[in-house]
Amino acid sequence: MRSVTGAGVVITGAGSGIGAALARRFAAEGARVVVNDIDAAAAQEVAKACGGEALPGDAASEAGVTGLISGAADLLDGIDLFCANAGIARPGGADAAELDWDASWQVNVMAHVRAARLLTGPWLEQGQGHLIYTVSAAGLLTMLGSAPYSVTKHAALAFAEWMSATYDHRGITVQALCPQGVRTPLYESSGPVGHALMDATAITPDAVADAVIEGIADGRFLILPHPEVSLMYSRRATDPDRWLNGMNRLQQRVEKLPDQ
């Protein structure tokens, strides 16, 4: 798919932020949009504003993903594009609570696995399907201050790569959206560390939606609304020690911030 016009699209976590911007933009481009969010009122509000349908619920649990995909397939007469966008960012390192590690795995990784499990069969039969995973630059690099987020976003990227490598020749397109800071409630909750690291380059959710429309048009695997991430990703790969030294210097700067 090189354009969303006329497509039946599902977006998880679309009651806010990046997902809501994708819903608005896709609807404006002529897509038929199903808006999911665990916050039912938010999903309904966004759906109403963009002329889509709301299917609120948990987009991570097995039951929630099953209900969403079967409900959306009925409403849309088949799903052309599934945007696994819902995500959570929990702070901390190894000391983060078991509950936070588990929730991060469920929402940031297993939601993607469960959706793929249900979508892949029908798409392989049709010879076409399209998945966009909202990962993060943290999945290519790291996010200081949040080990659960960094680790699960790396896993989400690994799963997206695996899906693309396995199914591309059979008509399933997979793309990974990897922004840095985007001005959304999730970003605002990132505290002084997040703001210190990302304020200078943070962009709007609408700018991310623009990048996604461009990415769909050219079909590249990595959609990078912050182009500088590409350079950092290649530096990490070619000289990991230098990259880690740089990240550690950043960590030392962050530790000197007030409120740390």
Ligand X SMILES: NC(=O)c1ccc[n+]([C@@H]2O[C@H](COP(=O)([O-])OP(=O)(O)OC[C@H]3O[C@@H](n4cnc5c(N)ncnc54)[C@H](O)[C@@H]3O)[C@@H](O)[C@H]2O)c1
* Residues in contact with ligand X by the rule CB under 6 A: 12-13, 15-19, 36-39, 42, 58-60, 85-89, 107, 134, 136, 179, 181-182, 184-187
Nearer to ligand X, 185 or 258 (CB): 185
Q: Which two tokens stand for residue 202?
A: 């943070």
Residue type, 40: A
Q: Which two tokens stand for residue 207?
A: 């700018």
* Distance separating alpha carbons of residues 130 and 210, to the nearest angstrom: 18
Neighbours of 247 (CB within 10 A): 14
Nearer to ligand X, 85 or 173 (CB): 85
Of 163, 118, 168, 139, residue with least CA distance to 10:
118
Q: How far is the CB of 248 from ligand X (least distance, A)?
A: 22
Which member of 149, 167, 187, 233 is catalytic? 149
* Distance separating alpha carbons of residues 248 and 144, to the nearest angstrom: 9
Lateral strand order in the sheet of 222-223? 53-54, 32-35, 8-11, 81-84, 129-134, 172-177, 222-223
Of 224, 185, 190, 187, residue with least CA distance to 202:
187
Whether 149 sits among the annotated catalytic residues: the reply is yes
Nearer to ligand X, 92 or 171 (CB): 92
Backbone φ and ψ of 22, nearest 5°: -65, -40
Q: Which two tokens stand for residue 186?
A: 């999730």
Q: How far is the CB of 49 from ligand X (least distance, A)?
A: 14
Q: How far is the CB of 190 from ligand X (least distance, A)?
A: 7
Nearer to ligand X, 124 or 250 (CB): 250
Q: How far is the CB of 127 from ligand X (least distance, A)?
A: 29
User: Which positions are annotated as active-site residues?
Assistant: 149
